[in-house]
Every structure is written in C-alpha cells, then in structure tokens.
Chains A and B, each alone.
Chain A
Amino acid sequence: MQNLRSGPRGWLYAAAALGASLSAAACIPVRLQAPDEPIEINLNVNIRQEVIVRLEGEARDLLQDNPDLF
C-alpha cells in the first residue's frame, strides 16, 4: 500500500484530514429533540378563499335579512 504521507497524493490526504478536523471543530451541535413549545400557526390571515366563495350567498342573505345591522 502506498505510503499515505509521501508521494504526489500525500498533500491531498493531509489537506483532507485538516479540512475534516476543521469542519468537525466548527460543527454546531444538532438538537434531535422536538421543541418544547408546540408550533403555533396563526390562522387569522389564513382564511381560505374557497370557504369565502361558498359563503357568498349566505353573506348576501345575512345582509338582506339584517338591514339594521349594516
């Protein structure tokens, strides 16, 4: 087996080893646990257009049936 320290590819192995150790040192620990707080989804803005379309007739009826409210 070729000697890893010498030869034309020696510096390549050395650079790879250096790079691996550097990236390992710069690794940010990965948290594999789920977050404590539940994911909060704000639905105030997320009213779907399809629902509104289906309610169009109902909305118009409501407006006509309650003229004193609008």
Chain B
Amino acid sequence: MSVSFKLPRLRMIAAGFAVATSIAIAAPALAQADNVLASARASGIVGEQADGFVGVVAGATASADVRARVEQLNIRRRAAYTERATQRGVTVNEMAAAVACEIFAGRIAVGEKYRGEDNQWRQRTASAAVVMPSFCPPA
C-alpha cells in the first residue's frame, strides 16, 4: 500500500528531473547560437532591418552557418509577430514594424549596421545616429 502511494510521486520527481536535465543540455546550444550571430552582428555581417527582421549586410561574406541561423531567427521572429498580431487584430507587417521601431530606437549598438526604410544599409557611428523609419512615431 505504501509503495503504490509513493511510486506516482517518484515518477513525477523523475520526470521533472529529466525535463530539467534536457533543458540544461539544450541551453548551451541556444547560447552558442546567440554567440555566432552576436559576433556576426558586431562585425557588420548581419544587421537589423526596418521590417523587423535580421538580414545579411549587402556585400558582406556570411558563412552558410550564419545564413542558416539568420533564417531560423527570422522564422521564429515571424512566429512571435504573427501570434501577437493575431491577438491585437493587426497585420504581421504592422506588428513587425512596431518592433522594428523599438529595435531601431534602442537596440542597435554603435558600429553595427542596419537596413533602413529605403533598403539601404547604414552603420551607426558615434557621430551618426540611427535613421528612424518614417512610420515610427517620434520619440
């Protein structure tokens, strides 16, 4: 009687331990993906775009690995945009543009390149602030 009472609880504990372990194993892989893209971003190979997605800078040489990571990142971003856009009753483009405005306003570091509304790649420098898209509300 006491054994059958404890077993379900043990199963729950074991299951929780397995889940935690799998997350711990997966986490470093995710962190590595960030590092590869982070260094590509810092070296001007990839950059944020006014449409809310990440792109390979024109003329830059990006490895197949970087390109694949960019594509995966954009797929996940689009899923997040779509989910929120559906909730708010707006188009995916509008949700993505709103996020792009937030990114352009504060998440493009000095030295990074970004693609503006006119599809031109620019670099944010100490003397050149980020050119905001026209559809972004004034700060």
Contacts and interface: CB of A to CB of B under 8 A. Distances in A.
A63 B101 CA distance: 11
Nearest to B74: A69
A48 interface: yes
B30 A47 contact: no
**Majority SS of interface residues in chain B?**
helix
A55 B89 CA distance: 11
Given A47-B97, A49-B137, A52-B94, A58 B30 contact: no
A56 interface: yes
Interface in B78-128: 80-81, 84, 88, 90, 93-95, 97-99, 101-103, 107, 117
Interface size class of B (residues with CB under 8 A): 20 to 34
Interface in A23-70: 44-45, 47-49, 51-56, 58-63, 66, 68-70
Interface size class of A (residues with CB under 8 A): 20 to 34
Most chain A CB neighbours (cut-off 10 Å) among B30, B80, B81, B107 = B80
**Majority SS of interface residues in chain A?**
helix
B51 to A, nearest CB: 9
B66 interface: no
Most chain A CB neighbours (cut-off 10 Å) among B93, B102, B107 = B102
B17 interface: no
Interface of B: 30, 34, 73, 76-77, 80-81, 84, 88, 90, 93-95, 97-99, 101-103, 107, 117, 134-137
